[in-house]
Amino acid sequence: MSEGSDIDLLYSILDHIGSIFQIVKDKLAEFLPDGSDQMSENYPRYQLSVNELSINIENQSRRFTQMLEEYHSKFYSQEILGHFNTKTGVILFLIRLLKKLGESEYLSLFYVEVLIFDSFSIQTGFSKILNLTEDYEGSFYILGMMKELFNPKMGFKYKWEYWLAQTHSFKSIPYSWREDFKSLLMKPCFRNGYISEFGISESHFDVGINTAMFRVKITRMQEGLYGFTTPNLYIFIEKFQEPNLLLYKYAIFITLVHELFHYFRRFRCSTIEEVRNITTPENSNYNSKEGGTIGENIIFGGRVKFLSEIGAKYLEEHKTQEFDMGFFQTLIDLNDKEIYERTGVVLKRSSSWRRNCLVGFRD
């Protein structure tokens, strides 16, 4: 399809989704009277209505969902360092949404969590995304939503609001910080961790680091997340609420060390499809399949859950001096949480202490 045809298709899908939302809200509103989040007594009748609606949605949406394979191919065949086609991403996302709404379990959750309490217009949210001009912006929204919004776990409503209702601003790492971070990463105690894990040469590592520094963006992440590396190699890092500038700077650095393990695992791929199909081999030494977690263990000897002021000062003072990783590890000894929360910045913010990095892009 031409670009003009894609635009026509996109708005046709949005109109179709808008009509579906209204039908679903009108049909099911009787089961949740007065905007209550408590299901009325007649739950079996509600579930029967959901099942019927999901079948109707599936049938009514077939003219769009039959295009899934075409747009899947167009989207995932994009080169990871090439121009990111946001319009194709939005179309694929919406087609997948229609397909998911044809599943009764997803439709029921979507209705209860999103539709009846929506404080925003989903159509307006997508229009906002379509008006984005930078590749990294489209990458952030589309690739983030692909991962998050088809996965009906806790926080489903919050996730929809985060991606579609909130406005996000992005900043690059200041030039002087990029140079400081590169100086630290080029030290053997950091560099050798990546070289040994991925079997790359020093020159390959140097090229990767120089490229990565210009693809890092600072923004407000979801609660429980502080890093996100997209399949097309943009790295998004939490805008930490830390008034101490040195702690803020090196909280970003520690997160970057983690994210670079995802980045280098994907760096030799050509397309988003190739990235989508690679997996992180489980490392029995660290009992993890999460690449950034393995990376932190390789470099720091464990997860960095907190960064103290003295740890940040050591990083700052030794960016151009010999770096003693063994000594630095004593400065991030993670046993006394209370002390570090008073004198540093919390880096492992998830309530479950497991979900800190948005990874995995398989359908």
Question: Are 190 and 202 in contact, with CB atoms under 8 Å apart?
Answer: no
Q: pTM score, two decimals? A: 0.88
Report the alpha-carbon distance of residue 269 to residue 233 in Å, rounded. 10
Kindly report, residue by residue over 104-143, the tens digit of the pLDDT: 999 988 888 888 766 667 888 888 899 999 999 999 999 9
**Cα–Cα–Cα angle for 269, 274, 276, nearest 5°?**
120
Residue 288 is predicted with a pLDDT of: 61
DSSP 6-26: HHHHHHHHHHHHHHHHHHHHH
Residue 255 is predicted with a pLDDT of: 94
Question: Are 72 and 92 in contact, with CB atoms under 8 Å apart?
Answer: yes
- Residue in 205, 195, 215, 200 with CA at minimum distance from that of residue 256: 215
Average pLDDT in the chain: 85
**Assigned token pair, 171:** 């900043």
What is the bridge-based pairing of β-strands 357-358 and 306-308?
A: unpaired
Question: Are 227 and 292 in contact, with CB atoms under 8 Å apart?
Answer: yes
Residue 350 is predicted with a pLDDT of: 40
31 has pLDDT over 50: yes
Kindly report, residue by residue over 191-225, the tens digit of the pLDDT: 999 999 999 999 999 999 999 999 999 999 988 78
Question: Are 226 and 292 in contact, with CB atoms under 8 Å apart?
Answer: no
Q: What average pLDDT score do residues 34-38 get?
A: 56
End-to-end CA distance of the chain, in Å? 24
Q: Helix or strand or coil: residue 271?
A: strand
Q: Helix or strand or coil: residue 207?
A: helix
**Residue 43 burial (CB < 10 Å; 0-12/13-18/19+)?**
exposed
Lowest mean pLDDT among 26-40, 44-58, 154-168: 26-40
